[in-house]
Amino acid sequence: MSELVLDYHEQEEVRQYGFGTKLFFLYFLNVCDWFCTQVLIDTGYFHEANPIMSWIMDYPIVGFFVKCILPLALSVLIWLFYRIFNLEQSKFTNFIIYSGVVIYSAVILVHIVNFVTLYSTVG
């Protein structure tokens, strides 16, 4: 067996949170990132650090589509792909999802610091 395929006991641990739940949580963090970024940009004190996303966030409808609608569609397609083909979760897919969760959590933490800084100086 490949090292990327989980043995039975590891699969039971992985299934504690289903694949769809993990994808949803990752998507939820993505939407939180979009919302917080948009609110901070709208204050006029902050700007998007990523130059490509900066251009996209200048157009709220495009930003909403790119950060909310497109990832939702991709998440649903990935989930359906896993369900239709009855695929098992692997260490690689869990690594990718958990890496995304860690990265988005760090970004959300930066947003929280920015909100605290903003409202402690403005208010």
Count, in order, helices (H) and strands (E) of the chain: 6, 0
> How far is Cα 110 from Cα 116, in angstroms, rounded to an integer?
10
Give the tens place of pLDDT for each residue, 73-100: 999 999 999 999 988 888 898 999 999 9
Give the tens place of pLDDT for each residue, 32-54: 999 999 999 999 999 998 999 99
Is 57 among the domain residues?
yes
**So what's the pLDDT on residue 1?**
47
Is 1 among the domain residues?
no
> How far is Cα 70 from Cα 80, in angstroms, rounded to an integer?
15
Is 16 among the domain residues?
yes
Is 3 among the domain residues?
no
pTM for the whole thing? Answer: 0.82
Q: The domain containing residue 28 runs over which residues?
A: 8-122
63 and 38 in contact (C-beta within 8 Å)? yes
Is 108 among the domain residues?
yes
Query: How many independent structural domains does the chain possess?
Result: 1
Is 65 among the domain residues?
yes
Residues facing 90 on adjacent strands: 5
